[in-house]
Each structure stands twice: as structure tokens, then as C-alpha cells.
């Protein structure tokens, strides 16, 4: 098993991220013995009955999907904790993908003003991105992650064993986030992804564990400096501004990672047009996405829906803070971008 440490400077808090294989059953048993509570994705529960707790008083089954990433779902988790005697020193263990993790973490941050949280991501998207960094949140009236908190977990447990049950679509849905973080932080890591495409698509264990650990380390290095996203952490939003418009316009039929892939292309088009990046960087990003089979163009159904980006949590009165991959994969934040300038690219 490999690990890395996240040191949050602002709150002087540290926690470990563990990456390995076939260790999760022992860790779940550990938390069961300590009367912890679990928010468990229903699909994961059906696939992994041998390692998942079955005690109904300790387990809240969560139905995944953007439609359930809501305040109502949060209230149900909070009620579950209250009705089953959770206390201020209790631990909530989230087992599932990004939607499960975001919603459970939001509930943990609110219950009795915050109880311990353990993240067990079961999708590649959650492993390389959403389980690390402390962002929690739910959607409000179609606006993605419009309500949330910053709340760091006590630890993150990443077991590559869970990758075996992902469909190809789910797998690529997560891999887009690894491409994103490489594109704004580390050209050498980006090249590693390019050089290992065949191993990545074959889900070779040693490559995936290295890939996941590196993505976590890169994200941790940003979060450590800027927990509340007031500066450098905005770089991690590369592709996400346009992605949120695409997700809204498609009524979330376009999955998050695929929307991010297209978002990276459109936002790179903007960066190229305005001189923030060069053709070499633009082409490297687009070519890798094409090789992996991502769509790189989107036809909006309703331009008004695309304007969801103007209500994005990264927006302010002057415009949007747009993160892009600059020359040589050095991230750049462009402030006060008008939503119409982005929409006009479609």
C-alpha cells in the first residue's frame, strides 16, 4: 500500500490518503467494530456484498445520480444519523462515487457542526478527484454544487479493487479528471498518461495505482496552499465551467467526466484565441482526449441552458474566473471572462 499526506496549512490539519489493492475489507471491519455509520451507494452494495456492512441501523443506502444530490437527500442522511444515535464523536464512512461522497460529506459537515468523515471512493472519478480536498456540496434547482462546505476527511481509502466493476463509460468518466490535473500542473505527468494509454485502458493495477497516487499528490499540493479556493485552487476547475453548462443543457445525460473533456477543449479554444496558451498545448490535450475516445464537440440544445455557467459558483458580477492550461501545461487563471465569450465558441 502507498500513501500520501495532505497538510492543510489554514486549519493546521493533516490526513492520509492510502492507495492500494484488496485492503478495504479490513478497514471497513475496523470502522464497524467502532460503531461507525456508513453512507453506502446502493449499486456498490449490490456488487460487493462480501465486503460491505449489512447492519441497517448503521448503513444508509444512497441512490446515486445527480437527481439525488440534493438538500432532501442531505436531510435524510442527517435524520438517519439522529435516529440511530450518532454523537459528536461518531464517524461517518462514505462508500461510493463522487455524488455519494459529496452528499455524505456535506451531511457530515453539518451534523452536530461536524463529525469525523472517512472517504472510500469506488469510482475512478472519485479516486483521482472528488474524495480529496474537502469540497462537499449538493445541487440547487439545476445549479451544480450550488450549496456546500469545505470539510476535510479524516482519511481517504482508495482500493483499486473497485475499478474492476466499472463499465468503460464509468472508467473514462473518471479518467478525464486525471487528464485535467495533469494539464494544469505537470506536463511530465501528462506525458506519462500519453505513454501508458494501453495500460490505462487495460486497467493494469500497478499503472493505475501510480496514476491515482500522483493525481492525489498533485491535488493535495494545491489544496494545502488554498483550501477555500481563493486563489491557486481555481486551477482545478479547468474544463468545469463549460462542463457545468453542458451538464445543465443535457439534463445531466452527459456524464461529468465527458462534459469536462469537452469543457477542456472549449476552454482551451478560448485560451488559444486570447493568447493564454499555444497550439502545441492545445493539440496535446485534444489529441489525448480523441485517442481515448472522448467526444470533443457539443451541440447545445438550448443556449439559455448553457448560460448556467453565469450562475456557476465561480462566477461574480464582473464575470467568470476561467482556469486554463497555459503553455507547457502551466495553469493560468483568467479573471472576469464574460459568459457570452465562452458561449460564442459553440
Alpha helices in 274-320 (DSSP H): 279-292, 303-306
According to DSSP, residue 327 is labeled G
Residue tagged active-site, from 69, 144, 234, 240: 240
Residue tagged active-site, from 229, 234, 247, 314: 229
In the residue annotation, 113 being an active-site residue is answered as: yes
In the residue annotation, 135 being an active-site residue is answered as: yes
In the residue annotation, 255 being an active-site residue is answered as: no
In the residue annotation, 256 being an active-site residue is answered as: yes
Residue (of 115, 107, 118, 108) closest to 89 by Cα position:
115
Residue tagged active-site, from 256, 267, 284, 314: 256
Residue tagged active-site, from 43, 69, 219, 234: 219
Beta-bridged to residue 322, according to DSSP, are 334
In the residue annotation, 229 being an active-site residue is answered as: yes
Q: What number of other Cβ atoms are within 10 A of residue 23's Cβ?
A: 16
Give me the torsion for CA of 243, 244, 248, 254, rounded to 10°: 40
Report the distance separating Cα 321 and Cα 134, nearest Å: 20
Work out the burial of residue 310: count CB atoms within 10 Å of its CB; fewer than 13 is exposed, 13-18 middle, 19 or more buried: middle
In the residue annotation, 177 being an active-site residue is answered as: yes
Residue tagged active-site, from 43, 58, 69, 135: 135
Report the distance separating Cα 296 and Cα 264, nearest Å: 9
In the residue annotation, 2 being an active-site residue is answered as: no
Please give the grid coordinates belonging to residue 64. 446515486
Residue tagged active-site, from 12, 113, 299, 317: 113
Residue tagged active-site, from 170, 177, 224, 267: 177
Report the distance separating Cα 60 and Cα 80, nearest Å: 7
In the residue annotation, 34 being an active-site residue is answered as: no
Residues contacting residue 152 through CB under 8 Å, at least 6 positions apart: 6, 8, 11, 13, 15, 117, 133, 134, 227
Task: Name the pairing type of β-strands 155-159 and 13-20.
Answer: parallel
In the residue annotation, 203 being an active-site residue is answered as: no
In the residue annotation, 206 being an active-site residue is answered as: no
CB 66 within 8 A of CB 49: no
Residue tagged active-site, from 244, 255, 284, 314: 244
Residues annotated as catalytic (active site), given as ranges: 113, 135, 177, 219, 229, 233, 237, 240, 244, 256
Amino acid at each position: 500500500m502507498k500513501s500520501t499526506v495532505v497538510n492543510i496549512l489554514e486549519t493546521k490539519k493533516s490526513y492520509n490518503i492510502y492507495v492500494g489493492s484488496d485492503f478495504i475489507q479490513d478497514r471497513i471491519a475496523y470502522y464497524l467494530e467502532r460503531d461507525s455509520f456508513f453512507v453506502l451507494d446502493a449499486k456498490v452494495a449490490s456488487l460487493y456484498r462480501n465486503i460491505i456492512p449489512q447492519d441497517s441501523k448503521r448503513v444508509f443506502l444512497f441512490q446515486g445520480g445527480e437527481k439525488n444530490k440534493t438538500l432532501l437527500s442531505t436531510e435524510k442522511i442527517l435524520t438517519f444519523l439522529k435516529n440511530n444515535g450518532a454523537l459528536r464523536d461518531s464517524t461517518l464512512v462514505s462508500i461510493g462515487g463522487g455524488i455519494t461522497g459529496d452528499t455524505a460529506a456535506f451531511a457530515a459537515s453539518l451534523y452536530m457542526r461536524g463529525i469525523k468523515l472517512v472517504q472510500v471512493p469506488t469510482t475512478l472519478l472519485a479516486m483521482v478527484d472528488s474524495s480529496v480536498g474537502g469540497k462537499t456540496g449538493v445541487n440547487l434547482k439545476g445549479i451544480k454544487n450550488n450549496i456546500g462546505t469545505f470539510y476535510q476527511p479524516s482519511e481517504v481509502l482508495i482500493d483499486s479493487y473497485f475499478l474492476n466493476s466499472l463499465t468503460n463509460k464509468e472508467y473514462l468518466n473518471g479518467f478525464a479528471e486525471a487528464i485535467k490535473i495533469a494539464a494544469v500542473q505537470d506536463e511530465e505527468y501528462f506525458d506519462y498518461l500519453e505513454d501508458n494509454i494501453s495500460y490505462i485502458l487495460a486497467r493494469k493495477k500497478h499503472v493505475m495505482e501510480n496514476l491515482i497516487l500522483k493525481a492525489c499528490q498533485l491535488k493535495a499540493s494545491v489544496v494545502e496552499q488554498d483550501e477555500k479556493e481563493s486563489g491557486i485552487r481555481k486551477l482545478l476547475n479547468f474544463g468545469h465551467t463549460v462542463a457545468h453548462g453542458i451538464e445543465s443543457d443535457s439534463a445531466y445525460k452527459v456524464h461529468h467526466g465527458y462534459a469536462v473533456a469537452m469543457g477542456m477543449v472549449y476552454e482551451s479554444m478560448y485560451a488559444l484565441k486570447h493568447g493564454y496558451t499555444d497550439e502545441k498545448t492545445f493539440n496535446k490535450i485534444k489529441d489525448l482526449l480523441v485517442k481515448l475516445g472522448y467526444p470533443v464537440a457539443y451541440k447545445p440544445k438550448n443556449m439559455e441552458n448553457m448560460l448556467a455557467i453565469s450562475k456557476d459558483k465561480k462566477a461574480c458580477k464582473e464575470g467568470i474566473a476561467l482556469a486554463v492550461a497555459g503553455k507547457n501545461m502551466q495553469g493560468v487563471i483568467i479573471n472576469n471572462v464574460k459568459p457570452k465569450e465562452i458561449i460564442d465558441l459553440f
